[in-house]
Amino acid sequence: MSTIYTSLSLDGQAKYLASLAACPQKVSDYSFANLWGWCEEYGLEWHFGDTHVWIRQGGENGVRWAPVGPWETMDWTHCPVLTKGGTFIRVPEKLAALWSGALPGRVKLTEAREHWDYIYSISDLINLSGNRFHKKRNLLSQFIRTYDFDYHPLTADCIEEVLQMQLEWSQWRESEDDATLKAENTAIARVVKNWDRLPNLLGGAIRIDGRMIAYTVAEALDNSTLVIHFEKGHTGFRGIYQAINQMFLEHQAKEHTLVNREQDLGDEGLRQAKLSYNPVEFLKKYTVVIS
C-alpha cells in the first residue's frame, strides 16, 4: 500500500507544529509559514506518519524534503522510507549526520551552500555596536535624522496596505514579468491574507506621511529564534532597510535571542548583503542521496 500524501492545509497546522517543536534542529525551510507560502509554487505535499511528517515536492516522481519530528528517537536503520533510497533536499546538518551514521556506505552528502540559513544575534542587530556595524549604524542614523516616520507593529488590519506596498515594490523593481518575483508575490499574499490563522506571525511597518514604505513579516520558530520571511523597503528612502531591520527587532523581538534571515539562494549580491550583517552561525543543509 503506497503512502498517501495530501495538500498542505491550515487545518493541519497545529499537528505539524507539534512535530516541528520536537525537531532537534529547526531551519527556516520547515517553518509553517514558509511551507504554506510556497506550497503552490513548489508543489508541496505532506504525509503524517506515526512519528514524523514527511514532505515531498513535485508529486510522486519529485524529490523529498527532510522529515519533521523527533529525529533522535527514530530507528533510521529500519525506516521504510530510507530503505527504498532516493534523494532528499534541504536536509539539516544534524539529520544528515544521523543518517550517515545509521546507513554507513549508503549516504552521499552534497553541501547545499545556497540553502544555508544565516543566524544573527538580535542584540547585535539592535545595538549595531563597534566597527563591524559602522556603515549600518550610519545609514540608520541618516534615516532617523532625515525623515519624519512612524513605526508600527503589523496587525491584520494592515494586510491590504502590505499587499499594496508589495505591488508598488514590484513596480519599483521594474520586474513585473519576472517569474521569481511573481512567485514571491504569491507567497507573500498567501501568508499575509491568513494573518489571523497563522498564530506565530509578527511583523512591523514604517510609514512616512501615512504611506507604508517598508514592512517585515517574521515568525517565531521557537522560544529563542525568529525567522524573517519577507522584508521590503522603498529604496528611495536612504537607510530604509537598516531602519526596518533594526526597529522591528528593537520593538518586537527582545524576548528572543537569535534571528534567522533565511538563505541567499546562491545570489552573490544577496550573499554579500547577508554577510555584511555579521552572522554568528550558519545552519548548514545538504542534498542527500541514499542508495
Domain boundary among 98, 116, 134: 116
Asked whether residue 179 is assigned to any structural domain, the reply reads: yes
Q: Is residue 247 part of a domain?
A: yes
Same domain, 64 and 163: no
Instruction: Among 86, 116, 146, identify where a domain stops.
Output: 116
Contact 170, 179 (CB under 8 A): no
On whether both 90 and 37 belong to a single domain, the answer is yes
Residue 172: predicted pLDDT = 74
- Does residue 54 sit in the same domain as residue 135? no
Burial of residue 67 (number of CB atoms within 10 Å: 0-12, 13-18, 19+): buried
| Same domain flag for 169 and 254 | yes
Q: What pLDDT is stored for residue 153 in this prediction? A: 97
Looking at the fold, whether 144 and 257 belong to one and the same domain comes out as yes
Is residue 30 domain-resident? yes
Q: How many residues make up the chain in this entry?
A: 291
Listed as own residue / partner, the contacts of 252-255 with beta carbons closer than 8 Å and 24 or more positions apart are 252/153, 252/202, 252/203, 252/204, 253/122, 253/126, 253/218, 253/226, 254/122, 254/126
Q: In total, how many domains does the chain have?
A: 2
Are residues 286 and 100 in contact, defined by beta-carbon separation less than 8 angstroms?
no
Q: Is residue 204 classed exposed, middle or buried when 0-12, 13-18 and 19+ CB atoms within 10 A define those classes?
A: buried
- As a whole number of Å, the end-to-end CA separation of the chain is 22
- The answer to whether residue 275 is domain-embedded is no
> Cell digits for 169?
515594490
**Is residue 26 packed enough to be buried (19+ CB in 10 Å), middle (13-18) or exposed (0-12)?**
buried
- Considering the domain architecture, whether residues 242 and 180 belong to the same structural domain is answered as yes
Q: Residue 96 falls within a domain, yes or no?
A: yes
Residue 171's pLDDT is 81
What gap in Å lies between CA 291 and CA 184, rounded to an integer?
34
Same domain, 70 and 41: yes
pLDDT tens per residue, range 158-217: 999 999 999 888 887 765 557 888 899 999 999 999 999 999 999 999 999 999 999 999
Q: Which residues of the chain have pLDDT under 50?
A: none
The answer to whether residues 137 and 173 belong to one domain is yes
The answer to the question of residue 281 being in a domain is no
Parent domain of 22: 6-116
What pLDDT sits at residue 142?
Answer: 98
The CATH number of residue 134's host domain is 3.40.630.30
Q: Which of 116, 151, 169 marks a domain boundary? A: 116
Residues 85 and 141 in one domain: no
Tell me if 232 is assigned to some domain.
yes
Cell of 127: 545595538
- Residue bearing cell 499574499: 189
Three-state DSSP at 9 gives: coil
Q: Mark whether 180 and 242 lie in a shared domain.
A: yes
Claim to verify: residue 127 and residue 54 sit in the same structural domain: no
